[in-house]
Amino acid sequence: MNDTRLAPVLDRIDAELPAALDRLMELLRIQSISTDPAFKAECDKAAEWLASDLASIGFNAAKRATPGHPMVVGHGEGTGPHVLFYGHYDVQPVDPLSEWNTAPFEPVLQDTPEHGQVIRGRGTSDDKGQLMTFVEACRAWKAVHGSLPARISFFFEGEEESGSPSLIPFMKENAEELKADIALICDTGMVAPGVPSIASQLRGMLKDEFTIVGPRIDLHSGHYGGPGLNPLKEISRIVASFHDKTGRVAVEGFYEGVHEISDEMKRQWENCGFDEKTYLESVGYTRPHGETGYSTLEQQWARPTLEVNGLWGGYNGAGSKTVIPSKAHCKITCRLVGDMDPNALRKKVRAHVAAQLSPDAKVVWDSDLEGSPAAVMNTERPEFEAARGALTDEWNREAVLIGMGGSIPIAGFFKDVLGMDAMLIGFANEDDAIHSPNEKYNVESFHKGIRSWARILAALSE
Amino acid sequence: MNDTRLAPVLDRIDAELPAALDRLMELLRIQSISTDPAFKAECDKAAEWLASDLASIGFNAAKRATPGHPMVVGHGEGTGPHVLFYGHYDVQPVDPLSEWNTAPFEPVLQDTPEHGQVIRGRGTSDDKGQLMTFVEACRAWKAVHGSLPARISFFFEGEEESGSPSLIPFMKENAEELKADIALICDTGMVAPGVPSIASQLRGMLKDEFTIVGPRIDLHSGHYGGPGLNPLKEISRIVASFHDKTGRVAVEGFYEGVHEISDEMKRQWENCGFDEKTYLESVGYTRPHGETGYSTLEQQWARPTLEVNGLWGGYNGAGSKTVIPSKAHCKITCRLVGDMDPNALRKKVRAHVAAQLSPDAKVVWDSDLEGSPAAVMNTERPEFEAARGALTDEWNREAVLIGMGGSIPIAGFFKDVLGMDAMLIGFANEDDAIHSPNEKYNVESFHKGIRSWARILAALSE
């Protein structure tokens, strides 16, 4: 890359870093917890702050009402390719407050031995610090050149941490306004510290919940122990039947639509800088526990799962209770890859459970819940190659296409509702403690994140 | 039996029934819930009432302090065989109160289509109504003959529903005073309505609890689903491994000390009036679910069990949480028969669990909990034959020796601490709803129960 427009923008970003951090601190002080109605006014205030900040850079930006927390939409006046940048200004609750070493909404800069300077506070990494990297990149371009290198629109949401109830209706109502050439999303992380990463595939998700009903009422385990069917034993047998001894899911037809990843992708993942040892040891594992024959990264990014997230029944208080409970409960989630169809999968899982049932046992399923297929980004688009080059230049490390074990539905929504591809680039680190006490964002992520976006905008508009 | 002393006593019991019911009602109105400290004074009041009632019949009776609720001990002046009668005056809590159709501590007489007149209220069957059958039998004997037909002592406990913490220390401290030729216990039921029953074998009990620890902290099931060891799957596999496909416990050495019951006992049980169909269908079963090859009664009375009473881990609130929890928990109880040794059994169960563990999974056991072996009554004693004859005369139905699936430790304590055999005779019915809302005791059980004890006392003193 040899874009003479870029150097002064990067210089400006470096010089402006203290001011950019001050602006981020202002946004971080707003307690925009979206799940808790007590913070409704704070959410509104964060939206107001963002609309006003975008306006100060010359965007035609406004807070937009929804039945829940407001969206913020802003449009720039540039020409060239049209990109829509997405981020969310709401944050997770802060409890347990006692485990924070600083006040969650009084962000501070701290020097650390491992990461250099970090910004500590709720929302630093998820997602206020990340979304401001893009805003600051625009601000620097505008300040240096008087205009932006592309046609840029912003779309900020305030309900990402509370299920995004207003998102799809709002996107549908404002489809023409929001549609661009591509969506840029800054809400993901890097596969390893210092390794610029573009998320090219995200697993989908299927949620379900079932109850096993045995006897009509709770029974005394003395009077009925022996002849009595125990739903806790029944549900354990069913859960145990979900996997075979190799860790493969034993539900018939479960792997329909799953594709083996290409050798090229395998090679990239093997060299992406992922630190398997740290990933496993940091949580107490000496080895991966998924399907035999697949690497840890493949198990996490490229293989589907059937996971149990909750299991309960009977007595769980202090001491003992001699009960055979009437009911036992199980919450499951499946992670989907490739072309797995969530609705078809739900039927297969339910059929598997039905086939395991003992006589006199019944299963009751929760009313149907949403499922979303896996999302595979369209990495053939030229924007991906442009972004890889820009990121490689900034980080002095080849940018990699990574998978993600989690599910970020927004990319799928852009595709389904607006017919628009998305590119997910983020600068968070695994140890940022998002959703947890003492959340932080490395100043390096913030600073080089802003510079990365400046470079990407240059590359996209070449 | 042809005891001229008996007829006037039975006549007196019939004539006195309304007064006896009034006395029982007084005792039932005392809210002697032993687990709840708020009812401490009520427990004391119930003990006081009993001591005073025994004194009114001529017993040298007194409330006796313990670190918990008081005992009541009383001694009569009769001669002949010395019997110690045991009962408990404390009752279970009443929640859920909303499911009661009458106030639990305002006992009432109700006419019912199935059972004739019943006494409705907390403690009617467990155990105030039952213990008063013996007290009233004594009262009638004393009123008619001026003296009792045997040397009778009373021993009432007020902590039976809360783990009997004071029982063994009190028995040890007062061993000489409490020791008699035999203990009589009225806290059991009849195998079928109208079938007088003597409990000749009770299963023992072993309690234990374990936690499976997987990852060091709760994990995100997107980021770790696949490579992550899930303690919920682990504990399900372990629980499922406790039994084989025939319902037999698969723990190595579990059946050591278990004896097959004799053909004579089998024959008695087959003809004891147990209504298998009602027993199973009343709780929603179409068949017994225990070990293949054993009848429902054998499964309940003569075979050991390993039962899961509680199982929990992960998220159990509304909606979904994408978590792989760090821990999963399980509470178990085993019922013991024959010569099974609770301490040896605990080791076997723990070894079984240890052998199932995946790498990286750990098991943590609760600190050792009490276990009690099975109790087999000494039915060769002449008192059993005498009681069978008396019960057969009263109920016009051959009295039967039954087993019990539950565990009543008091019989074992009398043997272990005082070296004294016990005989358990009770008049409760399966549908008395003990420990549940709307507890009742059939007036027939109360009336014929009193008459039964009057006859038994006559038979014992012949």
For residue B46, name the pLDDT band (cuts at 50, 70, 90): very high
**Hey, is the C-beta of B389 within 8 angstroms of any chain A C-beta?**
no
Are B236 and A239 in contact (CB < 8 Å)? yes
Q: What is the CATH number of the domain that holds B366?
A: 3.30.70.360
CA distance B25 to chain A (A): 28
For residue A102, name the pLDDT band (cuts at 50, 70, 90): very high
Are B225 and A331 in contact (CB < 8 Å)? no
Question: CB-based contacts of B224: which residues, under 8 Å, 6+ apart?
Answer: A283, A300, A405, B215, B324
Domain boundary among A372, A400, A422: A372
Contacts of B329 in chain A (CB under 8 A): 316
> What is the per-residue pLDDT for A265?
87
In a domain, B192, yes or no: yes
Do strands B151-157 and B82-88 pair parallel, antiparallel, or not at all (unpaired)?
parallel
Optimal mutation site among B307, B329, B431, interface A, most CBs of chain A within 10 A: B307
CA distance B443 to chain A (A): 24
Three-state DSSP at B410 gives helix
**Hey, is the C-beta of A327 within 8 angstroms of any chain B C-beta?**
no
**Hey, is the C-beta of B352 within 8 angstroms of any chain A C-beta?**
no
Q: Are residues A167 and A239 in the same domain?
A: no
* Residue B331 φ then ψ, to 5°: -110, 130
Q: Calculate the average pLDDT of chain A.
A: 95
Q: Are residues A162 and A18 in the same domain?
A: yes
Are A221 and B333 in contact (CB < 8 Å)? yes
Does residue A435 or residue A53 have the better pLDDT?
A53
ipTM of this complex prediction, to 2 decimal places: 0.88
Minimum Cα–Cα distance from A288: chain B residue = B227
Rounded CA Rg of chain A: 24
Around Cβ B169, how many Cβ atoms within 10 Å?
12
B89-A321-B374 Cα angle (round to 5): 80
Q: Which two tokens stand for residue A45?
A: 């205030």
> What pLDDT, in 10s, does the model give residues A82-96?
999 999 999 999 988
**Hey, is the C-beta of A322 within 8 angstroms of any chain B C-beta?**
yes
Q: Are residues B334 and B437 in the same domain?
A: no
> What is the per-residue pLDDT for B1?
47
**Hey, is the C-beta of A96 within 8 angstroms of any chain B C-beta?**
no
In a domain, B223, yes or no: yes
**Hey, is the C-beta of A320 within 8 angstroms of any chain B C-beta?**
yes
CA distance B28 to chain A (A): 24
Q: What is the CATH number of the domain that holds B456?
A: 3.40.630.10
> What is the per-residue pLDDT for A368?
65
Three-state DSSP at B170 gives helix
> What pLDDT, in 10s, does the model give residues B118-167?
999 999 999 999 999 999 999 999 999 999 999 999 999 999 988 899 99
Q: What number of CA atoms fall less than 13 Å from residue B427's CA on the CB side? A: 26
Give the C-alpha separation, B337 to B328, whole Å. Answer: 30
In a domain, B170, yes or no: yes
For residue B70, name the pLDDT band (cuts at 50, 70, 90): very high
Are A311 and B236 in contact (CB < 8 Å)? yes
Are B300 and A226 in contact (CB < 8 Å)? yes
Give the C-alpha separation, A228 to B308, whole Å. Answer: 12
Are B228 and A308 in contact (CB < 8 Å)? no
Return the percentage of chain B with pLDDT > 70, whole number.
99
Provide the chain A residues 169-208 that lie in CB contact (below 8 A) with chain B. Answer: 203, 205, 207
Are A288 and B220 in contact (CB < 8 Å)? no
**Hey, is the C-beta of A324 within 8 angstroms of any chain B C-beta?**
yes
Question: CB-based contacts of B262: which residues, under 8 Å, 6+ apart?
Answer: none
Distances (CA, A) of A462 to A149, A379, A386, A443: 9, 19, 9, 29
**Hey, is the C-beta of A258 within 8 angstroms of any chain B C-beta?**
no
Helix/strand/coil (H/E/C) assignment for every residue in chain A: CCCCCHHHHHHHHHHHHHHHHHHHHHHHCCCCECCCHHHHHHHHHHHHHHHHHHHHCCCEEEEECCCCCCEEEEECCCCCCEEEEEEECCECCCCCHHHCCCCCCCCEEEEECCCEEEEECCCCCCCHHHHHHHHHHHHHHHHHHCCCCCEEEEEEECCHHHCCCCHHHHHHHCHHHHCCCEEEECCCECCCCCCCEEEEEECEEEEEEEEEECCCCCEECCCCCCCCCCHHHHHHHHHHCCECCCCCECCCCCCCCCCCCCHHHHHHHHCCCCCHHHHHHCCCCCCCCCCCCCCHHHHHHCCCEEEEEEEEEECCCCCCCCEECCEEEEEEEEEECCCCCHHHHHHHHHHHHHHHCCCCCEEEECCCCCEECCEECCCCCHHHHHHHHHHHHHHCCCCEEEEECCCCHHHHHHHHHHCCCEEEECCECHHHCCCCCCCEEEHHHHHHHHHHHHHHHHHHCC
Give the C-alpha separation, B351 to B330, whole Å. Answer: 16
Contacts of A335 in chain B (CB under 8 A): 221-222, 225-226
For residue B422, name the pLDDT band (cuts at 50, 70, 90): very high
Q: Are residues A222 and A184 in the same domain?
A: no
For residue B255, name the pLDDT band (cuts at 50, 70, 90): very high
Report the pLDDT averaged over residues B355-374.
90
**Helical pair A443-460 and A382-395, crossing angle rounded to 10 deg:** 140
Give the C-alpha separation, B73 to B19, whole Å. Answer: 24
For residue A2, name the pLDDT band (cuts at 50, 70, 90): low
Report the pLDDT averaged over residues A42-71.
98
Are B316 and A310 in contact (CB < 8 Å)? yes
Q: Which of A44-53, A348-357, B367-376, B399-408 has the lowest mean pLDDT?
A: B367-376
Domain boundary among A372, A393, A420: A372
> What is the per-residue pLDDT for A264?
87
Query: How far from each other are the two terminal CA atoms of chain B, in whole angstroms?
Result: 10
Report the pLDDT averaged over residues A329-343.
95
Q: What number of CA atoms fall less than 13 Å from residue A225's CA on the CB side? A: 31
What amino acid occupies position B48? E
What DSSP character marks residue B335? Answer: E
Q: Which two tokens stand for residue A292?
A: 């035999």
Q: Are residues A85 and A178 in the same domain?
A: yes
What DSSP character marks residue B459? Answer: H
Minimum Cα–Cα distance from B297: chain A residue = A227
| Residue B419 CB burial class (10 angstroms; 0-12, 13-18, ≥19) | exposed
Query: Does residue B247 register a pLDDT over 50?
Result: yes
**Hey, is the C-beta of A222 within 8 angstroms of any chain B C-beta?**
yes
Spell A21-53 as b/e; 16+ CB within 10 A means b.
Answer: bebbbebbbbbbbbeeeebeebbbbbbebbbeb
Find how far residue A410's CA is from the centre of its chain: 9
Give the C-alpha separation, B133 to B156, whole Å. Answer: 14
In a domain, B124, yes or no: yes
Residue appearing with tokens 């019997």: B83
Domain count, chain A: 2
Three-state DSSP at B360 gives coil
Optimal mutation site among A216, A224, A296, A298, interface B, most CBs of chain B within 10 A: A224
> What pLDDT, in 10s, does the model give residues A234-285?
999 999 999 999 999 999 999 999 999 999 889 989 989 999 999 999 999 9
CA distance A176 to chain B (A): 33
In a domain, A291, yes or no: no
Spell A260-287 as b/e; 16+ CB within 10 A means b.
Answer: ebeeebeebbeebbbeeeebbeebbbee
Question: CB-based contacts of A385: which residues, under 8 Å, 6+ apart?
Answer: none
Q: Are residues B124 and B48 in the same domain?
A: yes
Q: How many CB pairs under 8 A join A and B?
A: 258
In a domain, B237, yes or no: yes
Of B279, B309, B325, the CB nearest to A320: B309
Q: In what order do the strands lie in the sheet with B108-112?
A: B108-112, B116-120, B440-442
Q: Which residues span the domain enclosing A352?
A: 204-258+304-372
For residue B260, name the pLDDT band (cuts at 50, 70, 90): very high
Find how far residue B421's CA is from the centre of its chain: 17
* Residue pair A310/B324 in contact by the 8 Å Cβ criterion: no
> What is the per-residue pLDDT for B321?
83
Distances (CA, A) of B315 to A350, B224, B323: 20, 16, 7
In a domain, A272, yes or no: no
Report the pLDDT averaged over residues A150-163.
95
Contacts of A232 in chain B (CB under 8 A): 239, 308-311
Contacts of B210 in chain A (CB under 8 A): none
Query: How far from each other are the two terminal CA atoms of chain A, in whole angstroms?
Result: 10
Spell A188-216 as b/e; 16+ CB within 10 A means b.
Answer: bbbbbeebbbbbbbbbbbbbbbbbbbbbe
Return the percentage of chain B with pLDDT > 90, whole number.
87
B20: closest CA among B395, B455, B451? Answer: B451
Residue appearing with tokens 């109880």: B333
Minimum Cα–Cα distance from A203: chain B residue = B222
> What pLDDT, in 10s, does the model give residues A413-457?
999 999 999 999 999 998 899 988 999 999 999 999 999 999 999
**Hey, is the C-beta of A236 within 8 angstroms of any chain B C-beta?**
yes
B333: closest CA among B145, B207, B171? Answer: B207
Optimal mutation site among B125, B234, B241, B312, interface A, most CBs of chain A within 10 A: B312
Distances (CA, A) of A14 to A46, A110, A448, B52, B53: 26, 19, 9, 92, 93
> What pLDDT, in 10s, does the model give residues B313-348?
999 988 788 899 999 999 999 999 999 999 999 999
Are A316 and B320 in contact (CB < 8 Å)? no
> What pLDDT, in 10s, does the model give residues B348-360?
999 999 999 999 9
In a domain, B397, yes or no: yes
Q: Which two tokens stand for residue A172?
A: 């549908």
Three-state DSSP at B227 gives coil
Q: Are residues B35 and B170 in the same domain?
A: yes
Q: Are residues B43 and B175 in the same domain?
A: yes
* Residue pair A460/A81 in contact by the 8 Å Cβ criterion: yes
Optimal mutation site among B95, B331, B346, interface A, most CBs of chain A within 10 A: B331
Report the pLDDT averaged over residues B5-25.
98
Give the C-alpha separation, A410 to A419, whole Å. Answer: 12
Q: What number of CA atoms fall less than 13 Å from residue A144's CA on the CB side? A: 22
> What is the per-residue pLDDT for A462?
84
> What pLDDT, in 10s, does the model give residues B181-197?
999 999 999 999 999 99
Element (H, E) at B449: helix B443-460
* Residue pair A46/A89 in contact by the 8 Å Cβ criterion: yes
Minimum Cα–Cα distance from A244: chain B residue = B237
Domain boundary among B337, B353, B372: B372
Provide the chain A residues 278-307 that lie in CB contact (below 8 A) with chain B. Answer: 279-280, 282-291, 296, 299-300, 303, 305, 307
Are B308 and A359 in contact (CB < 8 Å)? no
Of B285, B314, B321, the CB nearest to A215: B285
Q: Are residues A347 and A232 in the same domain?
A: yes
Q: Are residues A424 and A362 in the same domain?
A: no
Q: Are residues A245 and A125 in the same domain?
A: no
A177: closest CA among A82, A319, A54, A297? Answer: A82
What DSSP character marks residue B61? Answer: E
Do strands A371-372 and A327-336 pair parallel, antiparallel, or not at all (unpaired)?
unpaired
Of A303, A320, A359, the CB nearest to B287: A359
Does residue A212 or residue A436 have the better pLDDT?
A212
Give the C-alpha separation, B444 to B11, whole Å. Answer: 16
What amino acid occupies position B2? N
**Hey, is the C-beta of A314 within 8 angstroms of any chain B C-beta?**
yes
Q: Are residues A386 and A339 in the same domain?
A: no
Q: Which two tokens stand for residue B316?
A: 């159990």
